[in-house]
Amino acid sequence: MDKEERQLDRFVREHGEDGATFAPTSVEEAIGGSFVETDEIESLQERMRGWLDVPRPVHIVGPTGSGKTALALSVAAARDQPVVWINGDELIDTGSLVGERSGKAQYKERDNFVRGVMKKKSIVRDRWVDNPLSVAVQNGATLVYNEFSRTKPAANNALLSVFEEGVLDRPGQRGQDRIVEVHPEFRAIFTSNSTEYAGVHRPQDALLDRLVGIHLDYYNRETEIAIVSSRVDEHDDETIEQVVEIVRELRDRLDLHVGTRAAVMVAEGLTVFGDDALVEVCVDVLGSKAESREEIEEVREEIEDVV
């Protein structure tokens, strides 16, 4: 294998034949456990499924750690179609959504034009790599575009013609390959964080105009108890209920986003440090959100008061 062949071989091993990476592949993989469905969650899933059936893309907006990603993946996974995942990022550009030319592909041609004399010819061409959006629209996949408002609006412009005209423009492609038809089974679910969404990352109105927006708050008490007990099985019901009560109370009192993830983490901490360490465990779980020593001391005081 020469150098170029080795590079190509490594690229294919890392990215697959078409260059696209898809991760995570299931809701269980994304949340590291089984997905809990309560009445509250089922009713949200039903609402999302209804809009996807219309078909309209769905945008879930909610605070950090409230369960947006898990919910989006659960609805995507329940459709009998492949799921394609994109994580929004400042560095994403049009090419990383719709495909681009990436490296070279080498093809070998053998000519046997004089009997017994073999001529080998190496042809090197630009290699076209489809990326998640172009893979999803062509294969009728359900696209889950997590935190899409972190991507610069200019890159997300590629989505406008997908929803409006049912075609995807791949500017790096030439001729008739440039425009691809959107597969009739293609659907899209977007998530974004309520604080970021309202701030500097607000996506262009032309895109928001084409999405149905479903605003999530933190789940109700019953759902949070069900989620925490599904994630940490070492505790009795009473301990789980206490953890959820404390987290919900801190959520109201503190000027921090205290999501369901925090409740799961507190329950995990108690399995290691024991129930007597409840205050310390809560301080550690919320500690990374406090910006100064003074703030963490205030957080500790509130925790002690609540516990």
Ligand X SMILES: Nc1ncnc2c1ncn2[C@@H]1O[C@H](COP(=O)(O)OP(=O)(O)OP(=O)(O)O)[C@@H](O)[C@H]1O
Closer residue to ligand X (CB): 168 or 225: 225
Q: Distance of CA 202 to CAs 61, 66, 163, 205, 215, Å?
A: 12, 20, 19, 9, 15
Least distance (Å) between residue 125 CB and ligand X: 40
Closer residue to ligand X (CB): 33 or 140: 33
Q: How far apart are CA 70 and CA 27, in angstroms?
A: 6
Identify the CA nearest to 166 among candidates 138, 204, 203.
Answer: 138
Closer residue to ligand X (CB): 20 or 31: 31
CB atoms within 10 A of CB 151: 23
Structure-block tokens of residue 7: 């590079």
Closer residue to ligand X (CB): 62 or 269: 62
Least distance (Å) between residue 209 CB and ligand X: 24
Least distance (Å) between residue 60 CB and ligand X: 8
The CB-side HSE value for 177 (13 A sphere, CA atoms) comes to: 10
Cβ–Cβ under 8 Å, residues 63 and 194: yes
Least distance (Å) between residue 38 CB and ligand X: 8
Closer residue to ligand X (CB): 72 or 180: 72
Per-position DSSP letters for 141-154, written without gaps between them: PEEEEETGGGS-HH
Least distance (Å) between residue 193 CB and ligand X: 5
Closer residue to ligand X (CB): 40 or 298: 40
| DSSP conformation class of 178 | S
Least distance (Å) between residue 212 CB and ligand X: 18
Least distance (Å) between residue 129 CB and ligand X: 27
Q: How far apart are CA 261 and CA 263, in angstroms?
A: 5
Closer residue to ligand X (CB): 89 or 169: 89
3-state secondary structure of 106: strand
Least distance (Å) between residue 264 CB and ligand X: 5
Q: How far apart are CA 33 and CA 53, in angstroms?
A: 28
Cβ–Cβ under 8 Å, residues 200 and 65: no
Q: How far apart are CA 266 and CA 256, in angstroms?
A: 16
Q: How far apart are CA 40 and CA 214, in angstroms?
A: 14
State the residues that interact with ligand X by CB under 6 A: 31, 33, 35-36, 41, 62, 64-70, 193, 227, 230-231, 260-261, 264
- Burial string for 162-174 (b: 16+ CB within 10 Å, else e) reads bbeeeebbbebbe
Closer residue to ligand X (CB): 70 or 76: 70
The CB-side HSE value for 268 (13 A sphere, CA atoms) comes to: 11
